[in-house]
Amino acid sequence: MSTPPFTPQITANLVVQARQVNQGKSALLIEGVKDARLYRKVVDGSKCQIVAAGSRLGAEQALAILEARKEPGVLAIVDADLDHLLGKKSASPNLILTPTRDIEGIILSANRLSAVFAEFDLEHDAFGDSPEIAVVTAMAPLGFLRFAVEQKKWSVALAKLDFTVFVDLVKFSCDIDALCTHFADLTLTPAITGAMYRQEYDSLVARGFDPLLVSRGHDVTTVIAMAIRSRVGKKRKYGAEINGNLIESYLRTAYPIYAFRNTDLCRKILEWESNNPSYIVLMAGDPANASHQKQP
């Protein structure tokens, strides 16, 4: 995988230069190096070059540069972020938005938290039978308020966000009123109250969005890390701090290839391949990609 300095032009140039050596190879633009650790499980590295662009905007802009050059076989996959709430669609047939808010949502959908808990000597049901659903649902209200703040352009000191104020780390549940009050306390824009945040939340939740479209992956893993620290009574494992980044690392490692075949993201990649028949992204050995098995 290539990791260029993160400017769209350099990212685009890297793809063009690589094709001077590997003609006919497809290119997959993604946001960051951490994402690549997941995509390497399902991407055929001999036929597809993975390039981290540093950000969603960087990937989109690099794709636009390559499309303007009429470079074929280039696909970009980026986190949808809040586009689902905004009703936005992909602006290019070569751009795929994750079917969840971010790639962490796809990983969490595979229900592999039990494997993560085992690494901390916890029982698989330490936080209930369906901890993924519980924690993603608990973080959806926070996702809604993040969205409201962005849309209203309110100034909020989110760096001071304290999850313990509104999250039950045993049951993975969220106290909505406590969350709204906490946001009001952190809001620098004058005259914004907890009641106003509650009104925004009620309006958004009434639209019936799946929590996976709303919950921010890093919020989810941060809460999981806090819950594990609280349960095991330790802040570190083998010297590494038990935080959201560590949990994300464990989840990526535990993510099974077979789970990918059931994702909407896999379906969209296969659809892109069918529209670009000379270019391959997914490895043929992946059961998600049986269409690549050529008959003699």
89-139 residue pLDDT tens: 998 999 999 999 999 999 999 999 999 999 999 998 899 989 999 999 999
Verify that 116 and 250 share a domain, yes or no: yes
Verify that 175 and 43 share a domain, yes or no: no
The 3-state DSSP composition of the chain as helix, strand, coil percent (nearest 5) reads 50, 10, 35
166-203 residue pLDDT tens: 999 999 999 999 999 999 999 999 999 999 999 999 99
214: in domain: yes
Verify that 116 and 246 share a domain, yes or no: yes
Verify that 76 and 209 share a domain, yes or no: no
Verify that 250 and 271 share a domain, yes or no: no
Q: Can you give the pLDDT at residue 295?
A: 34
Residue 5 — very low, low, confident or very high, per pLDDT cuts 50/70/90?
Answer: low
Verify that 242 and 122 share a domain, yes or no: yes
Verify that 172 and 262 share a domain, yes or no: no
Verify that 125 and 246 share a domain, yes or no: yes
1: in domain: no
The domain in which residue 35 lies consists of: 8-106+258-292
Q: Can you give the pLDDT at residue 166?
A: 98
51-102 residue pLDDT tens: 999 999 999 999 999 999 999 999 999 999 999 999 999 989 999 999 999 9
Domains identified in the chain, total number:
2
Verify that 125 and 241 share a domain, yes or no: yes
2: in domain: no
215: in domain: yes
Verify that 239 and 148 share a domain, yes or no: yes
* Mean pLDDT for the chain overall: 93
95: in domain: yes
* Alpha carbons 81 and 141: distance in angstroms, whole number: 15
Residues pairing with 26 in the sheet: 48
**H or E segment and range at residue 26:** strand 26-30
Contacts of 106 (CB under 8 A, 6+ apart): 98, 99, 100, 263, 265
Verify that 238 and 143 share a domain, yes or no: yes
3: in domain: no
